[in-house]
């Protein structure tokens, strides 16, 4: 099974969000189970500099949208995964954020830049392939930046018809980002006028890249079962719900995995003491260290609720602001790490001023501190209004920190609420609430506090959470099964 994995970002070379982590971890996990997977990335400076053993593949590419000169190079990612880079200086030779210019706005030619990436991907299927030595059975695109790839394969058989037609998969990591452009670009990005229709690439009077991917790909996936359902609803479909409901039998949710090489308290170099499910005593050391670092009262009996998050409305942390005083009054502490919208940063700063010794706040991005919060906290709060998958709740469980989440997207799929029945069955791993209101979050916090006061129950939940396996092997096998269903004959 040969899979071309087309993505606009990949850790550690270029990262703006979770997609970069998935683009690194999933190919590595697929390789481990015998899939021959290669990445295709835009040739940003960081990618061309970061690949090793690079060599040129095929001929000069002269028909890409947006540029007449590009070449394909093949090299190794730092972890050894093979990666093609589309070296097209006119499109990608720009330092910094892959999507935004120095003014913080989208590059004005993003339509062409990512049409070119999709075009290059489709080029692997053509009779005169970009790499005649390696033909993918499946091309797997991620997010709107790769949405035109399945469209090209369907509507441009003149250009991309070949002896085999690879199967196509489109994965939606966050439906809020759709790639919506002027319809005047249709010809420039190499699409025939006939596909500018509702049954094609047209999307609310424009050219929709994610819409195109969702219309033309053989299979659609997203990053959790619940999110797969939610994006078919009016509330969360962002305009694509009709199409996604229409394609419901081709759409599946595959929950992302966790990289336990990075997130494991037994080996974590960032934390004060290492610990594991069989030897959990180091967690108390980590808690004390966190209380000192955040100037909280050093008291093992006060539960610390941690937050590691972008501070935005959609992460639901305003509901925490609403409940913080009651949490502190009940004996709780709060350790916050995040950055984002100014009003929310200000809200948390004020909270810390009002509750010295009980609330500590760091505004900023700090990888090492995020590990220390995971290790030192008792609870991790993730009350998101929407969350395609979410990673921090899965890290938390491994660190014996019980997640308290809103029941949405991947949070609903990965956390088992401590209902009386779940507690009796010994399966509970955290706390969940349904409606995004401060009142419901407050109730969940009170439930968590009540269980914290019963150490036997709390420790049983903690052990259960630490034993959950969210590694990448399961998702990799699910993707492989999907590929096998659509691979080129």
Binding site for ligand ADP (CB under 6 A): 17-18, 308-310, 337-339, 365-367, 370, 390-392
C-alpha span between 231 and 393 (Å, rounded): 21
Which residue lies nearer to ligand ADP by CB, 98 or 167? 98
Alpha carbon of 328 to those of 73, 138, 350, 446, 456: distances in Å? 56, 53, 14, 11, 23
Which residue lies nearer to ligand ADP by CB, 316 or 338? 338
Shortest distance, position 349 Cβ to ligand ADP, whole Å: 14
Give the residue among 272, 297, 266 at the shortest CA–CA distance from 466.
Answer: 266
Shortest distance, position 119 Cβ to ligand ADP, whole Å: 28
Query: Residue 231: exposed, middle, or buried by beta-carbon count in 10 A (0-12, 13-18, 19+)?
Result: buried
Helices 110-122 and 148-155: angle between axes, nearest 10 degrees:
60
Structure tokens at 359: 């609330």
Q: Residue 12: is the preceding peptide bond cis (ω within 30°)?
A: yes
Shortest distance, position 266 Cβ to ligand ADP, whole Å: 18
Alpha carbon of 363 to those of 334, 378, 379: distances in Å? 14, 21, 20
Which residue lies nearer to ligand ADP by CB, 124 or 395? 395
Shortest distance, position 392 Cβ to ligand ADP, whole Å: 4
Shortest distance, position 102 Cβ to ligand ADP, whole Å: 23
Which residue lies nearer to ligand ADP by CB, 293 or 487? 293
Q: CA triplet 23, 25, 30: central angle to 5 degrees?
A: 95
- Structural contact between residues 315 and 309, judged by C-beta atoms closer than 8 angstroms: yes
Shortest distance, position 367 Cβ to ligand ADP, whole Å: 5
In a 13 Å sphere around the CA of 155, the CA atoms on its Cβ side amount to 25
Which residue lies nearer to ligand ADP by CB, 337 or 415? 337
Which residue lies nearer to ligand ADP by CB, 208 or 403? 403
Shortest distance, position 222 Cβ to ligand ADP, whole Å: 13
Which residue lies nearer to ligand ADP by CB, 18 or 166? 18
- φ, ψ for residue 349 (rounded to 5)? -60, -45
């Amino acid at each position: 099974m040969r899979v071309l994995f087309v993505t606009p970002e990949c850790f550690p070379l270029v990262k703006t969000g979770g997609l970069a982590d998935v683009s690194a971890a999933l190919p590595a996990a697929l390789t481990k189970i015998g899939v021959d997977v290669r990445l295709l990335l835009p040739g940003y400076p960081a990618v061309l500099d970061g690949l090793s053993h690079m060599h040129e593949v095929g001929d000069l590419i002269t028909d890409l949208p947006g540029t007449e000169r590009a070449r394909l190079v093949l090299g190794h990612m730092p972890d050894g995964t093979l990666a093609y880079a589309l070296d097209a200086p006119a499109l990608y030779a720009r330092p910094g954020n892959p999507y935004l210019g120095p003014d913080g706005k989208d590059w004005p030619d993003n339509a062409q830049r990512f049409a070119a990436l999709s075009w290059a991907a489709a080029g692997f299927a053509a009779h005169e392939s970009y790499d005649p030595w390696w033909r993918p059975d499946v091309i797997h695109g991620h997010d709107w930046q790769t949405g035109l790839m399945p469209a090209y394969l369907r509507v441009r058989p003149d250009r991309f018809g070949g002896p085999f037609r690879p199967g196509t998969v489109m994965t939606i990591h966050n439906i809020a980002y759709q790639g919506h452009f002027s319809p005047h670009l249709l010809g420039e990005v190499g699409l025939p006028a006939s596909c500018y229709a509702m049954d094609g690439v047209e999307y609310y009077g424009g050219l929709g890249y994610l819409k195109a991917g969702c219309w033309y790909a053989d299979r659609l996936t997203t990053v959790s079962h619940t999110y797969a359902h939610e994006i078919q609803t009016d509330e969360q479909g962002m305009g694509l719900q009709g199409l996604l409901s229409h394609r419901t039998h081709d759409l599946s949710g595959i929950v992302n995995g966790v990289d336990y090489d990075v997130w494991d308290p037994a080996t974590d170099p960032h934390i004060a003491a290492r610990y594991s499910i069989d030897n959990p005593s180091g967690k108390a050391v980590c808690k004390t260290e966190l209380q000192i670092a955040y100037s909280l009262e050093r008291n093992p009996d006060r539960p610390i609720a941690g937050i590691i998050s972008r501070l935005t409305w959609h992460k639901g942390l305003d509901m925490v602001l609403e409940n913080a005083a009651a949490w502190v009054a009940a004996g709780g502490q709060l350790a916050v790490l995040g950055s984002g919208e100014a009003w929310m940063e200000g809200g948390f700063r004020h909270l810390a001023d009002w509750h010295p010794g009980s609330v500590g706040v760091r505004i900023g991005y700090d990888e090492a501190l995020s590990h220390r919060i995971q290790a030192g906290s008792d609870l991790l709060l993730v009350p998101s209004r929407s969350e395609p998958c979410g990673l921090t709740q899965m890290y938390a469980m491994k660190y014996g920190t019980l997640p308290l989440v809103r029941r949405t997207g991947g949070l609903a799929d990965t956390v088992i609420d401590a209902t009386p029945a779940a507690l009796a069955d010994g399966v509970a791993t955290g706390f969940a609430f349904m409606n995004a209101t401060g009142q419901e979050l407050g109730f969940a916090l009170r439930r968590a506090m009540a269980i914290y006061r019963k150490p036997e129950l709390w420790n049983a939940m903690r052990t259960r959470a630490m034993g959950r396996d969210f590694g990448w092997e399961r998702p990799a096998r699910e993707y492989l099964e999907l590929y096998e269903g659509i691979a080129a004959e």
